[in-house]
């Protein structure tokens, strides 16, 4: 998938680590897991194709299946916990979860956080607007003076405020489904959202339109996705990054991206 916008080139390189295999006997991170022998993962299940609920009622999607592959490599069981996006990081800090796997942007603020670690990048993405087909909003700059929805805890809230200041009204939501309902009912004019997820909704609903190109803000959009682990688990971060490198080198990461994201 090529989501690069003009002037944007993200070096997609996972670092190599000179360490023993992450699943070697008695890894130090195992003692700190929320449940012994299991990696407990927070995800929303409402940001397709990254995290969603399949027709069988089970969680799936690019991020979810990636985390399953990682857990398998670490010889751990997986337990996914569905929560609103705004509850993912507080739950990680409280020790309820071992990892966050939910279409999370790898932003400078999160990389500098004293509470969490972000893994090496997984895919490329950018923030944009999802609007109703036929709207007068044809570029992201047209959000000025409008009411725009954003998911609580997502990076789009700050992005909108930094770009438009008081020239925009931001309405926050627990999830994307609630935003889309209000968009269709005319309560908001647009939704600030990542391009990959917006494109999936457009595929499924001709009444919606995604704008491209999207927002361009240094270090904020475009961006890469990553998984998140607690700052108390540097060994787990190292193990997950080692698995990410293995999946990249084997071609499994690219195959998952092709399966779930394709040519969005």
pTM flag (> 0.85): no
β partners of residue 104: 226
What total number of domains does the chain contain?
Answer: 2
Task: Classify residue 9 by its DSSP letter.
Answer: -
Task: Kindly state the percentage of the chain with pLDDT values over 90.
Answer: 80
- Judgement on whether residues 240 and 162 belong to the same structural domain of the protein: no
- Judgement on whether residues 119 and 41 belong to the same structural domain of the protein: yes
Both tokens of 9, joined, read 């080139």
Q: Which domain holds residue 186?
A: 127-210
- Judgement on whether residues 117 and 137 belong to the same structural domain of the protein: no
- The whole-number pLDDT of residue 3 equals 57
Is residue 108 in a domain? Answer: yes
- Judgement on whether residues 178 and 238 belong to the same structural domain of the protein: no
- The whole-number pLDDT of residue 109 equals 86
Per-residue burial over 55-91, b if 16 or more Cβ lie within 10 Å, else e, is eeeebbbbbbbbbbbbbebbebebebbebbbbbbbeb
Helix 176-184 to helix 195-204 angle (10° resolution) is: 60
Q: What is the rounded distance in angstroms from the CA atom of residue 218 to the CA atom of residue 262?
A: 26
Is 70 exceeded by the pLDDT of residue 262?
Answer: yes
Do residues 55 and 96 make contact, with C-beta atoms less than 8 angstroms apart? no
Q: What is the rounded distance in angstroms from the CA atom of residue 253 to the CA atom of residue 24?
A: 23
- Judgement on whether residues 144 and 200 belong to the same structural domain of the protein: yes
Is residue 74 in a domain? Answer: yes
Is 80 exceeded by the pLDDT of residue 5?
Answer: no
- Judgement on whether residues 112 and 144 belong to the same structural domain of the protein: no
- Judgement on whether residues 98 and 144 belong to the same structural domain of the protein: no
Is residue 112 in a domain? Answer: yes
> For the segment 165-211, what is each residue's pLDDT rounded down to a tens digit?
999 999 999 989 999 999 999 999 999 999 999 999 999 999 999 99
- The whole-number pLDDT of residue 108 equals 87
Is 70 exceeded by the pLDDT of residue 2?
Answer: no
Q: What is the rounded distance in angstroms from the CA atom of residue 28 to the CA atom of residue 35?
A: 14
- Judgement on whether residues 150 and 86 belong to the same structural domain of the protein: no
Is 80 exceeded by the pLDDT of residue 13?
Answer: no
- Judgement on whether residues 77 and 103 belong to the same structural domain of the protein: yes
**For residues 132-159, average pLDDT:** 95
Is 60 exceeded by the pLDDT of residue 6?
Answer: no
- The whole-number pLDDT of residue 12 equals 41
- Judgement on whether residues 115 and 75 belong to the same structural domain of the protein: yes
Is residue 22 in a domain? Answer: no
Is residue 27 in a domain? Answer: no
Contacts of 60 (CB under 8 A, 6+ apart): 52, 53, 54
Q: What sign for the dihedral angle of Cα 211, 1, 246, 8?
A: negative
- Judgement on whether residues 233 and 120 belong to the same structural domain of the protein: yes
- The whole-number pLDDT of residue 264 equals 58
Is residue 26 in a domain? Answer: no
Is residue 5 in a domain? Answer: no
DSSP H or E stretch at residue 176: helix 176-184
Query: 263 pLDDT band (50/70/90 cuts)?
Result: low
- The whole-number pLDDT of residue 218 equals 86
- The whole-number pLDDT of residue 245 equals 97
Phi, psi of 232, rounded to the nearest 5 degrees: -80, 0
> For the segment 46-96, what is each residue's pLDDT rounded down to a tens digit?
899 999 999 999 999 999 999 999 999 999 999 999 999 989 999 999 999
Helix 234-250 to helix 252-260 angle (10° resolution) is: 80
**Higher local confidence (pLDDT), 243 or 24:** 243
CATH number, domain of 172, equals 3.40.190.10
- Judgement on whether residues 157 and 138 belong to the same structural domain of the protein: yes
Q: What is the rounded distance in angstroms from the CA atom of residue 131 to the CA atom of residue 138?
A: 9
- The whole-number pLDDT of residue 23 equals 44
Is residue 20 in a domain? Answer: no
């Amino acid at each position: 998938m090529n989501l690069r916008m003009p002037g944007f080139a993200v070096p997609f390189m996972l670092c190599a680590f000179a360490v023993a295999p992450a699943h070697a006997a008695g890894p130090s991170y195992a003692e700190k897991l929320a449940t012994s022998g299991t990696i407990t993962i927070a995800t929303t299940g409402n940001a397709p194709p990254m995290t969603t609920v399949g027709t069988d009622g089970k969680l799936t999607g690019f991020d979810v299946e990636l985390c399953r592959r990682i857990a398998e490599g670490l010889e751990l069981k997986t337990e996914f916990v569905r929560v609103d996006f705004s509850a993912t990081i507080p739950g990680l800090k409280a020790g309820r979860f071992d990892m966050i796997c939910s279409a999370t942007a790898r932003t400078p603020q999160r990389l500098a956080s004293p509470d969490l670690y972000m893994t090496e990048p997984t895919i490329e993405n950018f923030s944009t607007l999802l609007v109703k087909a036929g709207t007068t909003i044809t570029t992201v700059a047209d959000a000025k003076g409008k009411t725009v929805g954003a998911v609580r805890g997502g990076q789009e809230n700050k992005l909108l405020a930094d770009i438009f200041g008081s020239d925009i009204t931001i309405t926050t939501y627990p999830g994307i489904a609630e935003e889309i309902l209000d968009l269709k009912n005319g309560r908001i004019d647009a939704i600030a959202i990542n391009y990959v997820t917006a494109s999936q909704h457009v595929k499924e609903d001709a009444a919606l339109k995604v704008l491209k190109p999207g927002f361009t803000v240094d270090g904020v959009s475009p961006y890469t996705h990553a998984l998140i682990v607690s700052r108390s688990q540097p060994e787990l971060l190292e193990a997950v990054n080692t698995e990410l490198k293995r999946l990249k080198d084997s071609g499994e990461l690219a195959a998952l991206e092709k399966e779930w994201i394709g040519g969005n």
